[in-house]
Amino acid sequence: MKMHSFRTISKLGFTNFWRNRWLSLAAILIMSLTLIIISVFVIFNLVIDTTTKAIKEKIDLAVYFNDEATELQIAELHDQIISRGDVKSVEYVTKEEAFRRWQNLKTSDKIKNLISAQDNPLPRSLEIKTSDPERLDSIANFVALDQFKPIVRSISYQKNKEIIQKLINITKFSTRIGWAFSIIFIAIAVLVILNTIRLTIFTRKDEIEIMRLVGASDSFIRVPFLVEGALYGIFAAILTVIIMGIGLNLVAPLISRYLGEVSLNLQTFYWHYLWLIIIIELFLGVFISTICSLISIRRHLKF
Amino acid sequence: MAFIDVVNLTKIYDIPKKGKITALGGVNIKIDRGEFISLVGPSGAGKSTLIRLFIREDVPTTGRISIAGRDITKLKTDDLPYYRRKVGVIFQDYKLLPQKTVYENIAFALEVCDVPAKEIREKVIKILALVGLSARMENYPHELSGGEQQRVAIARSLVHSPQIVIADEPTGNLDPVNSKEIIDLLLRINRAGAVVILATHNAEIVNNLRRRVISMRGGKVVSDSKIGRYKI
């Protein structure tokens, strides 16, 4: 196809888009709706992922030592633990550091004054963070080995094991559910777009028939519809970005209230990455609608 | 060798749960250049099927249609647009684009073939004069009478100077006066050199023409007379 004719044919797409503007508007609105659904689910999954990650971060294991344990013994255990592949970090909390944390507790002075720097019963401890909370069990079992029993007073994990396991299961479940729903809704959204475009082409089937009759080539018939489809995608993407921006401004405070410090600061994220989001929505909108146009026009071009 | 050679043309439709329907059961026709043919027959005789096969809206089950020595039933999909430009077709329901003016409807047939704008303008004006609609260039189809709309359809079918013009019940929706005008137009086109195939139910038109008449019934040709009369 010559460039000159491609320009002419594409111009026809713009003309048709404008001439059938009510139909185009309907298609754009429906496409925006579906793009919003897709975007909401992506954000939803992002929120779940971040929340579950934050929860996992908070799950850790503390090993408390007897006062009789020597620094060398603690250091040895520290080295053995840190050399494990499933351990992310090990922090040694000295008596002084434990006291400092005690002083920073949000409680009454009367309670705080129960412990003084001179008379400090708080044990030393190792705070262990893993890369995967499911490994905590294995680490706890290691620390509970007979060889360490003389120096280990207690292991925090054993007490909270049940709760921690429940939390792990909930986060796993939420992630899976989130993705399952997303896939279902995204599939529905794409089907809606496909059918919307099929309808717009169907309403113009007389026009297509006449074009074939007078000897228009397949590309002459096809390209304007692809251009129209792409235009639907572009306008739908722009509308989606605007509506999402407004929606997020309204909803973000609510999310922050519930998720507290684990909130993504969605608003900041959105406006910071606005250009990227616009490009992604544009790409998504144009890509889906162009493919759907190609599929839909095919049945009218059998011969 | 005949200009158009229809050899053993059959079309059998296989309808699920209803069995096979033979729309054309072995049609043989030879047509020379410059002929004017009336194609008559009752509903279901196979006229429309024959026309559909002629314009490659469908392919035959067996047999062939050769035009100027070329078997058009074997044309590749890519070649079809070029073939269709050489065959002018006129329908009972005109098939005009309602959102385009008379000028735009005719120009459209040239635009789809990448003809330059200046050339389009010259051709469309010439053809409008031919069909007597120069004054109605800027009107939309709904602003025209049935006869005028059909003339626009004829004009559109002529833009590529086709060698074959097929008219499927062109006067079906028209009164006798308009019908006569349309037939006269078709005769002029025929005199200019194109083969005209006119499928019609109108006995009076056929009998007044005193040209070749091919009668069809039950998917077969039952009579073919040089100077025929309408009999079905």
B112, A8: Cβ pair inside 8 Å? no
| Sign of the torsion angle spanned by Cα atoms B199, B201, B206, B212 | positive
- Could you tell me the pLDDT band of residue A302, with boundaries at 50, 70 and 90? low
What average pLDDT does range A285-289 have in this prediction? Answer: 88
A113: Cβ contacts below 8 Å, ≥ 6 apart = none
Q: In this predicted structure, what is the pLDDT of residue A204?
A: 82
Domain ranges of chain A: 3-55+164-300, 67-150
Residue B134: the pLDDT is 94
Q: Which residue has the higher pLDDT, B41 or A182?
A: B41
Q: What digits encode the pLDDT tens for the residues A237-249?
A: 999 999 988 888 8
Q: Which residues of chain B have pLDDT under 70?
A: 232
* Residue in B56, B96, B160 nearest the CB of A303: B56
Considering only CB atoms, A303 lies closest to which of B57, B97, B160, namely B57
Helix, strand, coil tally for chain A in percent (to 5)? 75, 5, 15
Residue B59: predicted pLDDT: 92
Distance CA A300, CA B112 (A): 17
Size of interface A-B (CB pairs under 8 A): 51
**In the predicted structure, residue A2 carries a pLDDT above the cut 60:** no
B80 chain-A contacts, CB cut-off 8 A: 303
pLDDT of residue A24: 87
Stretch A36-55: mean pLDDT: 77
| Mean pLDDT of the residues in chain A | 82
Q: Give the pLDDT confidence score for residue A262 in this predicted structure.
A: 47
How far is the alpha carbon of A231 from chain B, nearest alpha carbon, in Å? 21
Give the pLDDT of residue A235.
Answer: 93
Is B109–A206 a contact, with Cβ atoms under 8 angstroms apart? no
Q: What torsion do the CA atoms of B155, B160, B161, B166 make, to the nearest 10 degrees?
A: -60
B53, closest residue in chain A (CA to CA): A303
Residue A253's nearest CA partner among A274, A269, A271, A267 is: A267
Question: pTM for this structure?
Answer: 0.69
> Rounded to an integer, what is the distance from CA A133 to the centroid of its chain?
20
> Does the beta-carbon distance from A214 to B58 stay under 8 Å?
no
Which residue does chain A place closest to B95, by CA atoms?
A210
CB A127 within 8 A of CB A65: no
Q: Is the pLDDT of residue A201 over 90?
A: no
- Domain spanning A67-150, CATH architecture: 2-Layer Sandwich (3.30)
The strand pair at B87-91 and B19-31 is best described as: unpaired
Burial of A133 (0-12, 13-18, 19+ CB in 10 A): buried
Nearest to B108 among A206, A214, A218 (CB): A214
Mean pLDDT of A203-215: 85
Do A207 and B97 lie within an 8 Å CB cutoff? yes
